[in-house]
Every structure is written in structure tokens, then in C-alpha cells.
Structure 1
């Protein structure tokens, strides 16, 4: 009897946890489903009942949204900007993470505190001086320069994640490489970097999603219709297509669908990288 009473809370807690997860999934998925349903409906049907199912599959909303949001140019620009940010972040974060995890750096705790502070300081404080410098140097609208700003924003989190992953790699591997005559760069390039691959993929996914969804930085530094990204293209539809909710829903679907598909494809690597890097901290 005592064993039954002692074990009874476990199924209850598990049921509550499952119910919470199901509720969280519904909260995240239902808005996306609502957008997907309304992409095939005309403006009048959406205004009358946004929860109703479409009576036919009309793709004219997608055509108007693609032209109105200039998504053909925005897709290329978003991929270019996100790719640049991912490459710069991985290069800088991997080098910094190995140094913080493997080298005896005096004051490394102060460096850690600095990174923690950097994640809490709002970027709005730096926008005006950054824009002033970019304008003086003629870098406004330059994807590489904007990628540097996004890289600086993503670096603290990326370094923390990769440092935890490097710490989980046994130091004996480094010692064996040094015994075989490898120097520090060769150990990093040929030994540690391949072992860091799951962590690098995880960081790349996070940085790519953040860069794709970025609005404040891109709206500040990416001026001109030829430099528009997906988010800026969707924003430009707000004035012209404010009375065409069908096109707005189709534009939102075009904006969100690539990153949803990207995450679904990469989620296995994301989960494995996060779990592997959480062994030690």
C-alpha cells in the first residue's frame, strides 16, 4: 500500500508534463496553420471568418505577394546575409571557444561576465553610432558589413555553446596530437574542429534562423529596394496590401515556410548537438 502511494504521483506528473507540451505545441502551430489556411482565401472571406476553410485553392494570393514583397530579390539577399553571418560567427566563435576551454587565460571569468553583459545590452544603444560609422565609410547596404553586425550580436551565445561542447571533448585527445608533433593550429584544424561538428551545426542553425528573422538591423543598414531582405519585403507590403489580407497571409507564408522547412530538416542535428554539448559546462 505504501509503495502504491509513493509511486502514484509519477504518472500524474508525467501526464501534466505531456499536457503542457501538447499545449505548447498547439500554441506554436495553430497560428502557422491559420496563416496557411487563409493564404488560399480572398480578402472578404478572411475578414468574414478567418477560421473557415477555403472553398477552393486559389494561388493568385501568392503571385501578388511575390511581386508586392519583391521576394525574388529578398530570398537571394536573405540567403546571402544569413550565410555571411553564419560563416563569420562559426569562424570567430570556434576559435574563441577553443581558447577559452583549452588555454589558461588570466581573467577568463571577466571575459565570461563581459559576454553575459553583451547578451543583455539592447542593440538599440549602438544603432546610431554604428549607422554613423557605416554611412561615413559607405557601407550602408553592404551585406558583408551588415553580417559583421549580426555576427557581433550572435557571438556571445555561440561562444558559450561551443565552449561547453569543447569542454566535453577529452583533453587526452589534444595531448595525443601534441605527442605526435602537431602544433596548436593543426590540433584545432584537424582534431578539435571535426569533433566539434555537431556543435557547429547547432550554432549554425541558431544563427541562420536569427539572421533570417532579423528586422531591426536589416531595416537600419540595408537601404534600397535592391538590398531588401525577406522581412523587409514583407514589411513593404503593409502599406500597399493593407486591404488585401489574402496577399498578406500569402506573404507571411512565403516568409515563414523556408525556415520551418529548414528547421524540420536540421532538427536531428540541432537536438544531437545541444545534447552533446550539455555533458559538461
Structure 2
């Protein structure tokens, strides 16, 4: 009877929807404005940088591709991304398996070292590293930069993969060992398939970081034929940013478009790898 006299108050979800909508606008708004600007003439962009284009200019994209020399720098970036991702997954996967499953002495200290080293900025080692790489002949060398990228991304990768592998029950590995499998077979045929979401997450994070990296690419690649997409876009935007916003915006859209598509295709696995890898460790 009291339930009808005094109905239970239910909290409204309207404030939650408003907050989510504001966050979506905050996240997607700059991308939408960037696309709008990429379709404008220089005069149209000068009059209004945040509105709809009065006239759609699709020719900004082929012009930006040619002027920004993205056709020459894109292969360099793809080589860096592919080489770094493959090497990081192989080396970090084996290291994480050793720490998580082989009960190595001092594995806890090594894990703490990975956490500490991943938080140190690369600027601390930039000067001595440059002189060392110059003596080794690895300056203006894509392989030399791949080695640096692998070293800088390995601590986070090992920590994340280890956190995920710890959750895999040891029964699967013990059953494989009973059947006569060695440690490499256990790692390759048992652990890697079960930890595939974590490997995919690491590959995506490392690939994004290498694609967007600017400082190391600028320091260790000084020849124009070895420039990456980011360094070429920086030079391109510096030259045309003040007089042709449509052209530079088109270059920016082309630079980030592959990343957006890749993330949208793999977002479910990416989130799964991050959440599962952070549950235990």
C-alpha cells in the first residue's frame, strides 16, 4: 500500500546521455572540422575554419599527395611499422612467456624494471644514442631506427603480454608437455593462440606509436628519401599551413585515415586485450 502512496524514485539517465554526447562531440568534432577544411578553397577556409565548405574541392587530396611527397615517404613508414611490430611481437612474446610461465629467478625484479624503464623518456638517452648509432653506421638507416623502436616499445609490450599470459591455465601447457612438446612448441602452439588478443593489442599500440613518432625519425633520418609520413607532413604543413588550409588539412586526413580505419576494425580485440591484460599481474 505504501508503494502506491509513495512511488519509488528512479534516477534519470538524461544527465548521462548529455555527458556522453558532449564527450562524443569533443572527440569527433575536431576530425569533422578537419574533413570540412580539407574540402575548402584557401579563401573559404580563411573566412570560416569551422563551418561547412561553400564549394567542395576534392582536388585538394591528389594535390596534397603530390606536394607532400607522401608517395615517397609512405613506403618508409610502412617498413618501419611492419619491422617494429613483427620484431616486438616475437621478442616481447618470448620474453613475456619466460617471465610468466618458466618461474625464472628474479622475474619480479625484471618486471619492475620493465615498468620503470617504460616510464623513462627517450630524451635522456638521445645524445649518447645518436653518437653510438653514428659510429655503428646506423644513422640514416631504417634498420637502425627499427632497433630503437623495438627497444623503446619492448618494456610495455612485455608487461602487457606477461599480464595476459599469467591468466592462461597451466593445464594446457602441462598437457602439451606430457605429449612430448618442448617449450618452443608450448609457446608457439598453445600460449600464442590463447594470448592472441594481447598480441593483437600490442601490435596495434606499437604500430600506432611508430606511425605517429616524430622525434626519433627527425634525429636519425636526415636524408629526404628516408623521411617518414610524419616528418614529410611537418615540412609540408610548415610550407603551406599559413596560405592553404585546405591542402594541409587534406594531407592530415590522408595521414590519419589508415589509423582510424585500423582501429575501428580491431577495436573489440584491442579493448579485450587491454582489459584482460590488466585484470591480473
The answer, yes or no, to whether TM exceeds 0.5 is yes
Shift of 1:106: 2.2
* 1:277 lines up with 2:280 in the alignment: no
247 and 171 in structure 1: CA distance in 2 versus 1, 3 angstrom threshold: same
RMSD between aligned alpha carbons? Answer: 2.3
Shift of 1:2: 10
Determine if contact 2:72/2:225 at 8 Å carries over to the other structure. Answer: yes
Determine if contact 2:37/2:49 at 8 Å carries over to the other structure. Answer: yes
Shift of 1:215: 0.7
2-structure distance, mates of 1:9, 1:28: 33
1:258 aligned residue: 258
1:268 aligned residue: 268
Determine if contact 2:92/2:161 at 8 Å carries over to the other structure. Answer: yes
Structure 2: gaps (5+ residues): none
2:136 aligned residue: 137
2:99 aligned residue: 100
Shift of 1:29: 0.9
1:44 aligned residue: 43
* 1:91 lines up with 2:90 in the alignment: yes
Superposition map of 1:178-197 within 5 A:
178-197=177-196
TM-score scaled by structure 1?
0.91
Larger mean Cα displacement after TM superposition, 162-171 or 137-146: 137-146
Tell me the SS of whatever aligns to 2:103: coil
1:207 aligned residue: 206
Shift of 1:108: 2.1
Structure 1: gaps (5+ residues): none
44 and 10 in structure 1: CA distance in 2 versus 1, 3 angstrom threshold: same
Larger mean Cα displacement after TM superposition, 201-210 or 52-61: 52-61
2-structure distance, mates of 1:280, 1:164: 6
Tell me the SS of whatever aligns to 1:223: coil
1-structure distance, mates of 2:9, 2:27: 29
Determine if contact 2:33/2:51 at 8 Å carries over to the other structure. Answer: no
1:68 aligned residue: 67
Question: Which string of whole-angstrom CA distances, capped at 9 and with x for unpartnered residues, describes residues 104-141 of structure 1?
Answer: 22222221221111122111111111111111122112
2:116 aligned residue: 117
Larger mean Cα displacement after TM superposition, 223-232 or 99-108: 99-108
164 and 16 in structure 1: CA distance in 2 versus 1, 3 angstrom threshold: farther
179 and 72 in structure 1: CA distance in 2 versus 1, 3 angstrom threshold: same
Matched residue count: 278
155 and 11 in structure 1: CA distance in 2 versus 1, 3 angstrom threshold: farther
